[in-house]
Amino acid sequence: MKKLAASTAGALMIGSELLSGKISDENLAPLARTLRTLGVRLTRVVTVLDDLDAIATELTALRTSLDIVFTSGGVGPTHDDITIAAVARSFGVGVREDHSYRALLERTYGERCTPVHLSMALVPEGAELFTTPDVTWPALVVGNVWVLPGLPEAFRSKLSIVHAWVQGPMVLHSRAVFLKTDEVDITEHLNAIVKAHPSVEIGSYPKWFDPTYKTKITFDATNQAELDAAVQDLVNRLENDVARIE
Summarize the chain as % helix, strand, coil (round to 5).
Answer: 40, 25, 30
Min dist CB 99 to a second copy, Å, is: 20
Min dist CB 168 to a second copy, Å, is: 13
Q: Which is nearer to a second copy, 78 or 136 (CB)?
A: 78
Where b means 16+ CB within 10 Å and e means fewer, 117-142 reads ebebbbbbeebeebeeeebeebbbbb
Q: Which is nearer to a second copy, 167 or 218 (CB)?
A: 218
Q: Which is nearer to a second copy, 204 or 222 (CB)?
A: 204
Residues of the shown chain interacting with a second copy in the complex, contacts defined by CB under 8 A: 13, 16-26, 28-36, 42-49, 54, 76-80, 112, 114, 116-117, 151, 153-154, 183-185, 187-188, 190-191, 194, 201-209, 218, 220
Short-list 81, 60, 62, CA closest to 16: 81
Min dist CB 182 to a second copy, Å, is: 9
Which residues, listed in sequence order, are joined to residue 9 by a DSSP beta bridge? 42, 68
Q: Which is nearer to a second copy, 208 or 212 (CB)?
A: 208
Min dist CB 206 to a second copy, Å, is: 6
| CA-based R_g, the chain, Å | 22
**Pair 63, 44: CB distance under 8 Å:** no
Q: Which is nearer to a second copy, 17 or 93 (CB)?
A: 17
| Residue 188: φ, ψ to 5° | -65, -40
CA–chain centroid gap for 229, Å, is: 30
Min dist CB 191 to a second copy, Å, is: 6
